Structure 1
Amino acid sequence: MAWLGFAMVITFMALIISKRLSAVTALILIPIAFGLASGAGPELGGMVMEGVQQVAPTALMLMFAILYFAIMFDAGLFEPAVRRILRYVGNDPLRVVLGTALLSSVISFDGDGATTVLIVTTAFLPLYLRLGMNPLILALMLLLTNTVVNIIPWGGPVARAASALHLDVSEIFLGLVPAMFAGLAYAFIVAVWIGRKERRRLGWTPMAKDTVSEELPLPLIESATQNPRLFWVNLALTAALMYAMGTGLAPLPLVMMVGFSLALLINYPRLADQKARIAAHSDSVLTVIALIFASGVFTGILSGTGMVDGMSARIVQMIPDGGGQYFSIITALVALPLNFLLSNDAFFFGILPVLGAAGAEYGIDPMHIARASVLGQPVHALSPLVAAVYLISGIIQRDMGEMQRYCLLWAIGSSLTLIATAIVTRAII
């Protein structure tokens, strides 16, 4: 089962990166083929449905979140912010990239990656398009900042690690604070480097840094759909939505469903206008939702057939005996490829308990194993099993494989920065 699982994941990755299959067809057909090969044919239906049920809340939340922020974008809520940011950054690519990283860092503190992606792309993508900048830079800045800030206690990775090893989530986080700041410093250093390269590519000069060329494209929002008179109403609704999401007032899918309904009713009370706005964004919504449900097929079969259990056991067997005293570092390094190949649930609940038990045999504190396990998140953010990857690639209209090739080395550098800082501060020793 271990080797069958590895073969399935590798086959899947090879096919989508080489563009021989689309992500949605590969996520469905590859695991079914390997599931049949494993002899689990009669049980595949149950495994698939269980996997789909697990991703259903995420799919619901993303569907209505995309529609909500699309409506707010159409209504012109973000246009004043875009204009202010544009005036601040001028047409300086360096300042645009730094601004992207800063906004993403701040918004990421809500602990929800999808929200960060939607807000940052809505605010900054028009700037990138107007200035002729590479939209993949926007994706990279999102990745390098959001994955680092997401180490916060209410973020998914730390919460999963604490649950898997029955540890205090705040204690895990406190030990990783220096690593988090180092990861953010790395992100802004990368922003400066790439921003300067964009300056040279676009031929930007300081002489024009405070002006925006009149030759740049017009705003991407159709004037007919904007409701400037409702700006403060929309802003208040969005603030209330963010408050509800941050405080856990209600389940996220419900929050986004109610928010979407109110936004649609307030801004476009006529039924014909409501249908037009939904239809205008149906393509992007359908693409993302189809991919999320397809990923449920993949993870459901991977877990249900026992491939995850076999893979985790095989990995532990591969660790040399002499490496026991460095087991937390080994865990951090192993987490990089595993976080890319597996979903967070598969890794934290399937493999991490095995790694924690193995580390205990070597006298390693489970707290160090838990901290080490979350340091591969920058690499995990590029996994084809992460919904946000498809969301970003759909919004910036770039192929997922192209985005992975552009961001992967920078993501590995971010993870290695986190690991090195954690070692220096003895968070994982």
Structure 2
Amino acid sequence: MTVVLGFAMIIVFMTLIMTKKLSPILALILIPTIFGLFAGAGLGIGDMVMEAIESMSSTAALLLFAIIYFGIMIDVGLFDKLVEFILRIAGQDPLKVVLGTALLTGAVSLDGDGSTTFIVVTAAMLPIYRRLQMSPVVLTCVAGLINGTLNIVPWGGPTARAASALHLDANSIFAPMIPSLAAGLALSLVFSYFMGLSERRRLARKGVAWVKGARAAEPGPDSGQPLTGVAAGPSAGGPATQALTINRTGTQTAEEDETTGHSLTDTALDPDRPTLRPHLFWFNLALTAAIMVLLIIDILPLPYLFMIGTVLALMVNFRSIREQHEELAAHASSVITVVAMVMAAGVLTGVMSGTGMVDGMAQWLVDVIPASWGPYMAVITGVLSIPMTFFMSNDAFYYGILPVLTETAAHYGVPAVDMARASITGQPVHLQSPLVPAILLLVSLAGVELGDHHRKVLWRALAVSLVMLVVGVLVGVIAFG
């Protein structure tokens, strides 16, 4: 019964958010509560949820102060030069912008932390997407694919967990998987290329043109076609020039207005924003670089690291208490949305763990695997890792399920290291899970509905995971038969 309720809860939850019948926050709280009561949790459901929320408190603190910190850096102008450089290289071509998003995500993802990666990528790229009227769902899809694929690096979470659970060396798991990683990244770049082409064609159908420099082709006033020009104002003609579609009377259409909204980057690249601190550029760059170095060498807890960074950034860039309060208030909406989603995810994980749904579903999957499939346990584990790491935490899968599957595989001569390698191939799909705080952060900052993101990214992430698994088999690092 618990197994049936577990699978039914997942199906209902995914259906409601992908069809937009409920917002993710409401679905994360309401659906697990209903199914948890049906599973017999009773009043104990409160303790289950609070235990899960307590375990996620450090993640919530990290996201809270990281959002504020990078919000300050955006406001004071740290990323303006980076965005202008990207625009100078990419021009006004959506294809180049999408490929630039992929390359930037790949570079920043090497730190092994998804939340930081998404904040940096969103801060740098979302203003460009808004200026060119590109879909932010493309940004979240590309960033999610690339980061999910690179999530298997040894200093990332899943490989370290697999090594710990099976008492293996992390590098012995990762190094032979480099061909699989390369194949996954190559396919992700192919997907990015075609999404960029699709954006280019979509905007062309809307009559939006891309300009290089300050000039743009304009049809005659009697042609009946939209006129295309560039944004007036201080930045017109510069690298951050904004393409606009204007009607025959010279007024801006509503198309651009549809690209605006409340997000971390609403005011990014505005050359007249009062929060700019160009004279403090080198201080802010040095502070951010120091935080990134400390993040990588891991000598301080990340939430505390960003707390200290936020305090220093506020004190130096905004001297008066009034300015500091205003700066904090400016990012309140982003903080509330993300932290609320993380806390809401605690309801789902708490109910699934507390009612035994996770354990029951895992044991059911192990029981239904026929004995004749034993020699293929590594590949089976790779396939199972795709849905299982999507619907449960990495901790639950790697510490609770992988050891059981590995013990079963040992009876058929399948090495534990092959099982570990296969288990990490599901990470491109795992990272898109609503249980992963980083992906909740990404869609919140980009102003994208989680259901819209899932519709665009899930089948692509599935393809990347399967390609990584197949390449692992073909190069002989994942046992098959």
Shorter-chain TM-score range? over 0.9
Corresponding position: 1:62 with 2:63: yes
Instruction: Write the letter of the residue equivalent to 2:460.
Output: W
**Cα drift, residue 75 of structure 1:** 0.6
Corresponding position: 1:262 with 2:312: yes
What's the counterpart of residue 435 of structure 2? 385
What's the counterpart of residue 100 of structure 2? 99
Q: After superposition, what is the alpha-carbon deviation per residue over 1:74-93, rounded to whole angstroms, capped at 9, x for unaligned?
A: 11110111111111111122
What's the counterpart of residue 165 of structure 2? 164
Q: Which shifted more, 339-348 or 239-248? A: 339-348
| TM-score, normalised relative to structure 2 | 0.85
What's the counterpart of residue 328 of structure 1? 378
Alpha carbons 1:27, 1:297 under 8 Å: kept: yes
Corresponding position: 1:302 with 2:352: yes
Q: After superposition, what is the alpha-carbon deviation per residue over 1:314-335, rounded to whole angstroms, capped at 9, x for unaligned?
A: 0011212221111111111111
**Cα drift, residue 2 of structure 1:** 2.1
**Cα drift, residue 340 of structure 1:** 1.9
**Cα drift, residue 42 of structure 1:** 4.1
Structure showing greater Rg: 2
What's the counterpart of residue 233 of structure 1? 283
| TM-score, normalised relative to structure 1 | 0.95
Distance 1:360 1:208 in 2: 59
Alpha carbons 1:312, 1:354 under 8 Å: kept: no
Corresponding position: 1:316 with 2:316: no
- The verdict on how the C-alpha distance between 1:209 and 1:172 changes in structure 2, with shifts beyond 3 A counting, is farther
Distance 2:62 2:159 in 1: 21
**Cα drift, residue 353 of structure 1:** 2.0
Secondary structure of 1:224 counterpart: coil
Distance 1:339 1:359 in 2: 19
What's the counterpart of residue 88 of structure 1? 89
Q: After superposition, what is the alpha-carbon deviation per residue over 1:279-325, rounded to whole angstroms, capped at 9, x for unaligned?
A: 11111110110110111122122112222111111001121222111
What's the counterpart of residue 197 of structure 2? 196
What's the counterpart of residue 129 of structure 2? 128
Distance 1:349 1:142 in 2: 28
Distance 2:202 2:9 in 1: 41
Moved over 6 A (4+): none
What's the counterpart of residue 37 of structure 1? 38
Corresponding position: 1:420 with 2:441: no
**Cα drift, residue 210 of structure 1:** 4.1
Alpha carbons 2:39, 2:355 under 8 Å: kept: yes
What's the counterpart of residue 402 of structure 1? 452
**Cα drift, residue 413 of structure 1:** 1.4
Alignment of 1:241-256 (within 5 A): 241-256=291-306
Alignment of 1:141-152 (within 5 A): 141-152=142-153
Distance 1:219 1:46 in 2: 42
Alpha carbons 2:382, 2:423 under 8 Å: kept: yes
- The verdict on how the C-alpha distance between 1:30 and 1:200 changes in structure 2, with shifts beyond 3 A counting, is closer
Q: Which shifted more, 268-277 or 207-216? A: 207-216
What's the counterpart of residue 211 of structure 1? 213
**Cα drift, residue 188 of structure 1:** 1.6
What's the counterpart of residue 412 of structure 2? 362
- For structure 2, list consecutive stretches of 5 or more residues without a partner in the other structure: 217-229, 232-241, 244-266
Q: After superposition, what is the alpha-carbon deviation per residue over 1:227-267, rounded to whole angstroms, capped at 9, x for unaligned?
A: 11110000000000101101102011110111111111111
Instruction: Write the letter of the residue equivalent to 1:58.
Output: T
| Number of residue pairs aligned between Structure 1 and Structure 2 | 428
Distance 1:174 1:318 in 2: 32
Distance 1:62 1:326 in 2: 40
**Cα drift, residue 177 of structure 1:** 1.0
Secondary structure of 2:110 counterpart: helix
Distance 1:40 1:128 in 2: 46
Distance 1:208 1:34 in 2: 51
Alpha carbons 2:77, 2:269 under 8 Å: kept: no
Corresponding position: 1:23 with 2:73: no
Distance 2:7 2:164 in 1: 26
What's the counterpart of residue 184 of structure 1? 185
Distance 1:47 1:184 in 2: 38
Distance 1:9 1:98 in 2: 34
Alpha carbons 1:308, 1:351 under 8 Å: kept: no
Secondary structure of 2:425 counterpart: coil
- The verdict on how the C-alpha distance between 1:26 and 1:197 changes in structure 2, with shifts beyond 3 A counting, is closer
Distance 2:192 2:359 in 1: 39
Distance 2:101 2:473 in 1: 29
Alpha carbons 1:308, 1:350 under 8 Å: kept: no
- For structure 1, list consecutive stretches of 5 or more residues without a partner in the other structure: none
Instruction: Write the letter of the residue equivalent to 1:362.
Output: Y
The alignment-based identity, stated in percent, is 47
**Cα drift, residue 211 of structure 1:** 3.0
Alpha carbons 2:82, 2:124 under 8 Å: kept: yes
What's the counterpart of residue 376 of structure 1? 426
Alpha carbons 2:74, 2:268 under 8 Å: kept: no
Corresponding position: 1:352 with 2:353: no
Alpha carbons 2:144, 2:439 under 8 Å: kept: no
What's the counterpart of residue 252 of structure 2? none
Cα RMSD between the aligned structures? 1.9
Distance 1:60 1:219 in 2: 24
